[in-house]
Amino acid sequence: MSILIDKGTRLVVQGITGRDGAFHTRQMIDYGTKVVAGVTPGKGGEQVHGVPVYDSVADAVAATKANTSVIYVPAAFAADAIEEAADAGIGLIVCITEGLPVRDTLAVYHSVARRREANGNGKPRLVGPNCPGLLAPGIAKVGILPGQIAKPGPVGVVSRSGTLTYEVVHQLTRAGLGQSTCLGIGGDPIIGTNFIDALTLFEADPHTEAIVLIGEIGGTDEEEAAQFIKRHVHKPVVAFVAGQTAPPGKRMGHAGAIIAGGTGTAGEKMAAFAAAGIPVARIPSEIPSLVAAAMERRRARAGTKRGSASGAKRAAGTTARRNAAARGNGSAARETQRSGRAAARGKPARRTRSQ
Amino acid sequence: MNLREYQGKELFARYGLPVLPGQVASTPEEARDIATSIAGPVVIKAQVMVGGRGKAGGVKLANNPEEAYDRARDILALTIKGLPVRRVLVAQAAEIARELYLAIVLDRSRKLPLVMFSSEGGVDIEEVARSTPEKIVRFHVPLEGLRAYQARALFQPVLKDGALVAQASDVLLKLWRVYNDADCQLAEVNPLAITPAGKVVALDAKVILDDNAEYRHRDWDGWRDRDEETPGERLAREKGLSYVKLDGDIGCVVNGAGLAMATMDLVKHYGGEPANFLDIGGSSSPEKVTAALKIITGDSRDRGGAPKVRAILFNIFGGITRCDDVANGIVQSLAESPLSVPLVIRLTGTNEEAARRILADHGLTATTQMDEGVREVIAKAQEVAV
């Protein structure tokens, strides 16, 4: 299973008649995504790869019950497109477009947040801008991630990058570690969904057993994520931070990837993760083994509690593992703290559940 | 885009911020003429975008036009932190009774613009933040924009005097308009000075513009200092490539910013030094590949003019980028201008097989693993060095 998208995802493509929009519509359909509508103002009535085109998102929603939107319109129109989708009642808005002025993103960020607060159901949610979107292996993809590199499995991947995400997902797949969902949150300074949002979703997803977090220089999202993981995430997390050799004051491709005023360095972020007891990969190829080790530790703990025979059986099976409430990160001390906290919160601590 | 002080002051002046009269000069003669027209003492300030200009001798006082000539000549001969001084700002000198700090910057975490004000101006604000953080007052500008009463409330406890509070509030409201209307990521005045006569003036201007907003600001293009760009930086900008020059000897051509950073890191991890960050972007036409190779080989000459790059690595993860497009680009580029340094290619993903065939037809091979490619390019660079 997956976060944010699933078999019930009914997708409308904003900017479907453009070069990128049309190309990725084909790719998403081929992957099995239900692309129910496209929108290009003035081109209502046309078809793209058999998908009906409407003049507005509201028309598309009325006609097709679309619940998710993906945006490929040029930067100057992207903020408007996000606002239009939110107005039409779309629950998940994924903005692939890069190059939005920060002032525009700020305005739509707060507009979407206000609507979400008013609705009280977590919707609408904005992912991006300047992101590759989401891929739930074997289920659906919304955005531009290449489908063939992924395979279904227990690892949730969240990243500020595009191709680096593909690289890591590819390496996980080669190592036999499939993914529940791969989520690219985007490389801009202001983005709709951040690491903490993604971690919250993965923590709640019963089919995600471990999380890979791929950060980069700029801002303090990674530091805040590290604190959040320490307090609220019980599944094992492995982190990587790109830009260890990036010079200060230079924008490294992504608008948000800049070390400004001495903050936002890879070193600080890696230290924040390490201080929170989160394994940090120094290079991407270390990620799969760190994930495997973290999952192994988690299973081993579940096995010890459960008695050796069933433990061994559980360690072998993927589905069964999902029920294991064992914790994967960090030290034994933290482990104890956590079970204590879980019990205090009235949640079944793993002892109760596994014995 | 980072504006130079004189450009920032130009922008400030448009919005009515109190800046003192001044103009930019690129010769001592021009500096003398400007000083003559200003009449009275002037400050000559090197227009380079690095901190610590004053300490490096890049800011000098001149009491008359002849002194302005001499000081400008001295400063124009300087190289500050590697940057030759090509222009100086000649501005009316101010008497300073007190120096404040005022800035508006994007707070990424709170997702709102943040006003920062300090009674300790004229010094490095990061130093103030470290040693006496209580001396910095912060205020998040609400979505609706900044109000006059909010500005007054910010200054009242620190400045106390009614006339000063009024002037400072006026400055802040205008600075907010600069920040918001001109799509700034930073608008900073340091120092914001109070003269002995009780006037508030902006003695410096540091402005960073949001590059993504350039399409709606026609005036920005004139601010780009083309003579400060290296030929490689210019070519990268014209071809739409993200490029940052570094000091090492391993050239890197990568698709995607995150992967490009990770590639540099990996080069370092395996004992090499990356020569650059270069993201050829999503859709890689052969022209982009050709431009990338030109940039890397042309831009990295040492002082003697010899190429500094000893080997070049292509690291391509095909997604939207098609590996065969990149392979075609490499082959075409090599046909036009053969490389004098070894080339290592790593590619995987979309149309990988086609790419390998194209490369093989021209006697080239490619690895599939990133670590392998990086180790190989470092080894090749070391062979060249020996």
Q: Provide the mean pLDDT of chain B.
A: 90
pLDDT at B324 over 70: yes
Q: Which residues of B touch A250 (CB under 8 A)?
A: 244, 277
Nearest to A253 among B260, B317, B320 (CB): B260
pLDDT given at position B27: 95
- B281 versus B293: the higher-pLDDT residue is B293
CB B153 within 8 A of CB B117: no
Q: Residue A331 — pLDDT band, cuts 50, 70, 90?
A: very low
pLDDT given at position B351: 87
- State mean pLDDT over B361-378: 95
> Which stretch of A319-323, B77-81, B332-336 has the lowest confidence by average pLDDT?
A319-323
pLDDT given at position A309: 43
Angle between helices A221-232 and A195-204 (to 10 degrees): 30
- For residues B299-337, one letter each, b for 16 or more C-beta atoms within 10 angstroms of the residue's C-beta and e for the rest, the string is bbeeeeeebbbbbbbbbbbbbbbbbbbbbbbbbebbeee
Q: Which helix (H) or strand (E) holds A351?
A: helix A350-354
Cβ-defined contact of B216 to A76 (cutoff 8 Å): yes
pLDDT at A138 over 60: yes
pTM of the model: 0.89
* A256 touches B: beta carbon within 8 Å: yes
- Correct CATH for A10-127 of 3.40.50.720, 3.40.50.300, 3.20.20.70, 3.40.50.1820: 3.40.50.720
- State mean pLDDT over B78-84: 85
Question: Which positions 10-39 of B are in contact with A (Cβ < 8 Å)?
Answer: none
Phi-psi region of B20 (alpha: psi -120 to 50; beta: other; left: phi over 0): beta
Q: Which residues of A touch B104 (CB under 8 A)?
A: none
* A282 touches B: beta carbon within 8 Å: yes
Q: Provide the mean pLDDT of chain A.
A: 87
CB A9 within 8 A of CB A213: no
pLDDT given at position A333: 37
Cβ-defined contact of B261 to A217 (cutoff 8 Å): yes
pLDDT per position as a tens digit, A203-252: 999 999 999 999 999 999 999 999 999 999 999 999 999 999 999 888 88
- State mean pLDDT over A277-292: 96
> From B350, which residue of chain A is nearest by alpha-carbon distance?
A146
What's the rounded Cα separation, in Å, for the pair B192 and B164?
12
pLDDT given at position B275: 93
> Which stretch of A135-149, A254-268, B58-72, B340-354 has the lowest confidence by average pLDDT?
A254-268
Domain A145-291 has CATH 3.40.630.10: no
Q: Which helix (H) or strand (E) holds B316?
A: strand B311-318
> From A184, which residue of chain B is nearest by alpha-carbon distance?
B258
Residue identified by tokens 């040492």 is B302
Domains of chain B and any CATH numbers: 21-92 (3.30.1490.20), 98-222 (3.30.470.20), 229-385 (3.40.50.261)
In percent, how much of chain A has pLDDT > 90?
A: 76
Which value, to the nearest 10 degrees, does the dihedral of the CA atoms of residues B338, B341, B344, B350 take?
-30
pLDDT given at position A19: 87
pLDDT given at position A93: 98
> From A104, which residue of chain B is nearest by alpha-carbon distance?
B213
- Integer angstrom CA distances of residue B294 from B234, B338, B346: 12, 11, 19
What's the rounded Cα separation, in Å, for the pair B351 and A204?
37
* A162 touches B: beta carbon within 8 Å: yes
Q: Residue A351 — pLDDT band, cuts 50, 70, 90?
A: very low
Residues in chain A, overall count: 355
Q: Torsions phi, psi of A26, nearest 5?
A: -55, -50
User: Which range in A188-197, A291-300, B303-312 is most confidently predicted, on average pLDDT?
Assistant: A188-197
pLDDT given at position A97: 95
- Report chain B's C-alpha Rg in angstroms: 25
pLDDT per position as a tens digit, B248-266: 999 999 999 999 999 999 9
Number of inter-chain CB pairs under 8 A, A vs B: 162
* ipTM of the complex in this document: 0.90
- State mean pLDDT over A196-202: 97
What's the rounded Cα separation, in Å, for the pair A39 and A59?
9
Phi-psi region of A84 (alpha: psi -120 to 50; beta: other; left: phi over 0): alpha
pLDDT given at position A144: 93
CB B337 within 8 A of CB B292: no
pLDDT given at position A327: 40
In percent, how much of chain A has pLDDT > 70?
A: 85
Q: Which residues of B touch A266 (CB under 8 A)?
A: 265
* B285 touches A: beta carbon within 8 Å: no
pLDDT at A319 over 60: no
Cβ-defined contact of A261 to B126 (cutoff 8 Å): yes
pLDDT per position as a tens digit, B178-196: 999 999 999 999 999 999 9
What's the rounded Cα separation, in Å, for the pair A238 and A290?
7
Residue identified by tokens 């190309």 is A23
Amino acid at site A85? A
pLDDT given at position B150: 97
Mutate to test the interface with A, among B259, B351, B372 (most CBs of A within 10 A): B259
Cβ-defined contact of B258 to A216 (cutoff 8 Å): yes
pLDDT given at position B340: 86
Amino acid at site B194? I
Q: Which of A24, A207, A234, A254 is catalytic?
A: A254
Amino acid at site A20? D
Mutate to test the interface with B, among A30, A216, A245, A252 (most CBs of B within 10 A): A245
| Closest-CA distance of chain A to residue B198, Å | 31
Q: Which residues of B touch A265 (CB under 8 A)?
A: none
pLDDT per position as a tens digit, B121-146: 887 777 888 888 888 999 999 999 99
pLDDT at A316 over 50: no
pLDDT given at position B298: 80
CB B331 within 8 A of CB B343: no
* B357 touches A: beta carbon within 8 Å: no
Numbered ranges of CATH 3.40.50.261 in chain A:
145-291
Numbered ranges of CATH 3.40.50.720 in chain A:
10-127
- B127 versus B372: the higher-pLDDT residue is B372
pLDDT at B273 over 70: yes
Nearest to B262 among A75, A242, A262 (CB): A242
Cβ-defined contact of A100 to B212 (cutoff 8 Å): yes
- A2 versus A350: the higher-pLDDT residue is A2
pLDDT given at position B227: 66
